[in-house]
Copies of this chain bind each other. A is one copy, B any other.
């Protein structure tokens, strides 16, 4: 009998001894069948700007695992927030609290707002796992995502490898860089690869583009690219297709481009040889694994690994077809 308190200490110990002796394994099937208790999970991800946006992908993995687990009475309620508005994060966090789920997966995109959310989760004893980026030692059940610094190293190595000569431009397509923690980490890793491995014959430059609503951002970039003899571009997130469009528009056929994530348009550029490598982090798998962590801990009551760094996949024209299916 498991911990409902109404047992004498002596018999309890006796029973536990027998349990050990017989190596008793509770039958999960019978258990969940009998309990008939529904489990509700919630996710809080950034809202993807389009149906092709990056954040659809973790959601796909989430949905898949939930479907597999619906036999166990596990259900999901997804929430999203606007990447540009911390307020929407707070609002949706509150919505989540109001439905009182047994477990949560979320992306701690805004640090301060996430921390206050975490406070409330701890009060209510609701376990949570981070996805994509993480806050260290915040009491999370675990983290599912990539090691951004190391993936930056990989990008550095690859871009250097394919670049006979010329300088490099690191491009951040993002607003509010301070919060986009992993973009900064990737940049660091990228720079450090050159510091460690090369006696720096190349120059590295960094630029931030926050507004891509029209093509005016290109003008300034074109300028630097010519002035600084840029021959390689590293895009720190999934907006590689912007760089692809740029290269295509101006017909720079010796420009080498590298970036992140297998969005449809990115893959198109990869196949057209306008982008040479894409670094991929299997976002669907991350979504899948994050739910699985909750399930194992909450339903199966098993211990789980805390950190779950997904692989840093190097994707190129020749192997991309084997990454697209899930």
Contacts and interface: CB of A to CB of B under 8 A. Distances in A.
Interface of A: 25, 27-30, 32-33, 70-72, 146-147, 150-151, 153-154, 157, 161-162, 193, 309-314, 316-319, 321-323
B161 A318 contact: no
A27 B71 contact: yes
A31 to B, nearest CB: 9
Given A310-B322, A311-B319, A314-B316, A71 B29 contact: yes
Contacts of A28: 71
Contacts of A162: 161
Given A29-B71, A30-B33, A33-B33, A311 B314 contact: no
A12 B161 CA distance: 66
Contacts of A313: 311, 313-314, 319
The 5 closest A-B pairs by CB, nearest first: A314-B314, A312-B319, A29-B29, A311-B322, A154-B318
A322 B29 CA distance: 34
A310 B321 CA distance: 10
A150 B322 contact: yes
Nearest to A282: B311
Given A27-B33, A32-B29, A161-B162, A319 B314 contact: yes
Contacts of A193: 318
Nearest to A162: B161
Nearest to A30: B33
B312 A322 contact: yes
Contacts of A32: 29
Nearest to A314: B314
Nearest to A158: B316
A146 B313 CA distance: 16
A157 B318 contact: yes
Contacts of A321: 150
A314 B319 CA distance: 9
23 contacts: A27-B71, A28-B71, A29-B33, A29-B71, A29-B72, A30-B33, A151-B319, A153-B318, A154-B319, A157-B316, A157-B317, A161-B161, A161-B162, A193-B318, A309-B322, A310-B322, A311-B319, A311-B323, A312-B319, A312-B322, A313-B313, A313-B314, A314-B314
Contacts of A153: 318
Contacts of A312: 318-319, 322
A111 to B, nearest CB: 25
Most interface-central of A310, A314, A317 (chain B CB within 10 A): A314
Given A153-B318, A157-B318, A313-B314, 15 more contacts: A27-B33, A29-B29, A29-B32, A29-B72, A146-B322, A147-B322, A150-B319, A154-B316, A157-B316, A157-B317, A161-B161, A161-B162, A312-B319, A312-B322, A314-B314
